[in-house]
Amino acid sequence: MRRIATILALPLLVQPAGIASAQQAGGQGGAQASGQASGQASAQASAQGDVSVTIYNNDLALVQDVRQLGLTKGLVRQEFPDVSANIRPETVTLNVADAGIVEQNFDYDLLSPDKLMDKAVGQTVTLVHTNPATGAETREQATVLANNGGTIVRVGERIEVLEGSGARVVFPSLPANLRARPTLSVTLDSTRGGTRPATLSYLSKGFSWKADYVALFDESAGKIDVQGWVTLNNTSGTTFERAGVLLVAGAVGKGSDDGQSDYQPSPMVRAGTQSAPRETLGDFYLYPIKGRTTLANAQQKQVGFLDVHGASAAKVYQFRNAGFEGSDDPQSAASVLRFSTAREAGLGDALPAGTVRVYMKDARGQPQFIGENAIGHTPMGSDLALKTGDAFDVKVKPTVEKRERISSSEWERTARWRITTNGKTEDVTVERQREFWRTTMTYKVSNAKPQPVTVDLIQAGLDGWWHDSRVPSESLPGKQRSLDERVWQVPVPANGETVLTVQFDTRY
**3-state SS, one letter per residue, for 211-232:** EEEEEEEECCCCEEEEEEEEEE
Whether residues 150 and 194 fall in one domain: no
pLDDT at 261: 38
Segment of 12-21, 126-135, 396-405 carrying the highest mean pLDDT: 396-405
Cα within 13 Å of Cα(440), Cβ side: 10
Q: How confident is the model at residue 31 (pLDDT cuts 50, 70, 90)?
A: very low
Q: Does 135 reside within a domain?
A: yes
pLDDT at 63: 97
pLDDT at 41: 36
Question: From CA 321, how far away is CA 502, in angstroms rounded?
Answer: 13
Sheet of 194-204, strand order: 93-96, 194-204, 60-71, 50-56, 240-249, 284-295, 280-281
Q: How confident is the model at residue 258 (pLDDT cuts 50, 70, 90)?
A: very low
pLDDT at 332: 96
Does 320 have pLDDT greater than 90?
yes
Does 192 have pLDDT greater than 50?
yes
Pick the more confident residue, 284 or 163: 284
C-alpha closest to that of 458 among 270, 265, 319? 319
Q: How confident is the model at residue 165 (pLDDT cuts 50, 70, 90)?
A: low
Characterize the bridge pairing of strands 194-204 and 60-71. antiparallel
Q: How confident is the model at residue 497 (pLDDT cuts 50, 70, 90)?
A: very high
Whether residues 34 and 98 fall in one domain: yes
Q: How confident is the model at residue 107 (pLDDT cuts 50, 70, 90)?
A: low
pLDDT at 42: 39
Report helix, strand or coil for 88.
coil
Whether residues 167 and 105 fall in one domain: no
Average pLDDT rounded to a whole number, residues 470-487: 93
Whether residues 54 and 9 fall in one domain: yes
pTM beyond 0.75: the answer is no
Average pLDDT rounded to a whole number, residues 386-407: 93
Q: How confident is the model at residue 136 (pLDDT cuts 50, 70, 90)?
A: confident
Which of 26-35, 115-124, 397-406 is predicted least confidently?
A: 26-35
For residue 309, the tally of other CB atoms under 10 A from its CB is: 11
Which of 39-53, 295-309, 459-473 is predicted least confidently?
A: 39-53
pLDDT at 164: 65
Does 409 have pLDDT greater than 80?
no
Does 14 have pLDDT greater than 80?
no
What's the CA angle centered on 338, arms 334 and 339, to 5 degrees?
160
Whether residues 83 and 183 fall in one domain: yes
Q: Does 465 reside within a domain?
A: no
Question: From CA 362, how far away is CA 171, in angstroms rounded?
Answer: 66
Q: Does 86 reside within a domain?
A: yes
pLDDT at 254: 56
pLDDT at 358: 96
The β-bridge partners of 374 are 355
Radius of gyration of the chain (CA): 35
Average pLDDT rounded to a whole number, residues 343-366: 92
Q: How confident is the model at residue 411 (pLDDT cuts 50, 70, 90)?
A: low
Whether residues 95 and 184 fall in one domain: yes
CA 465 to each of CA 404, 461, 507: distance values in angstroms, whole numbers, following the listed order: 21, 11, 10
Does 457 have pLDDT greater than 60?
yes
Whether residues 167 and 182 fall in one domain: no
Whether residues 54 and 96 fall in one domain: yes
User: Residues with Cβ < 8 Å from 496, sequence gap 6 or more?
Assistant: 446, 447
SS (H, E, C) 110-155: ECCHHHHHHHCCCCEEEEEEECCCCCCEEEEEEEEEEECCCEEEEE
* Mean pLDDT, the chain, integer: 83
Whether residues 26 and 123 fall in one domain: no
Q: What percent of the chain has pLDDT over 90?
A: 47
CA 165 to each of CA 151, 156, 161: distance values in angstroms, whole numbers, following the listed order: 11, 17, 8
C-alpha closest to that of 214 among 229, 201, 199? 229
Q: How confident is the model at residue 180 (pLDDT cuts 50, 70, 90)?
A: low
User: Residues with Cβ < 8 Å from 101, sequence gap 6 or more?
Assistant: 94, 186, 187, 188
Does 123 have pLDDT greater than 90?
no
- Domain of residue 135 covers 113-171
pLDDT at 178: 61
- On the 0-12 / 13-18 / 19+ scale of CB atoms within 10 A, 83 is buried
pLDDT at 44: 59
Q: Does 495 reside within a domain?
A: no
Pick the more confident residue, 456 or 176: 456
Q: Does 47 reside within a domain?
A: yes
pLDDT at 9: 39
Whether residues 123 and 51 fall in one domain: no
Average pLDDT rounded to a whole number, residues 61-85: 92
Question: From CA 98, how far away is CA 189, in angstroms rounded?
Answer: 8
Whether residues 39 and 105 fall in one domain: yes
C-alpha closest to that of 101 among 184, 194, 179? 184
Q: How confident is the model at residue 114 (pLDDT cuts 50, 70, 90)?
A: confident
Question: From CA 464, how far away is CA 504, in angstroms rounded?
Answer: 13
pLDDT at 179: 62
Q: How confident is the model at residue 408 (pLDDT cuts 50, 70, 90)?
A: low
CA 501 to each of CA 399, 401, 498: distance values in angstroms, whole numbers, following the listed order: 10, 9, 10
Does 292 have pLDDT greater than 80?
yes
Torsions phi, psi of 388, nearest 5?
-105, -15
Whether residues 184 and 50 fall in one domain: yes
User: Residues with Cβ < 8 Å from 332, sequence gap 6 or more?
Assistant: 390, 391, 392, 394, 395, 396
Number of domains composing the chain: 2
Q: Does 77 reside within a domain?
A: yes
Q: Does 263 reside within a domain?
A: no
Question: From CA 67, how far away is CA 167, in angstroms rounded?
Answer: 43
pLDDT at 412: 60
pLDDT at 177: 63
Question: From CA 153, how far away is CA 144, in angstroms rounded?
Answer: 4
Report helix, strand or coil for 90.
helix
Q: Does 435 reside within a domain?
A: no
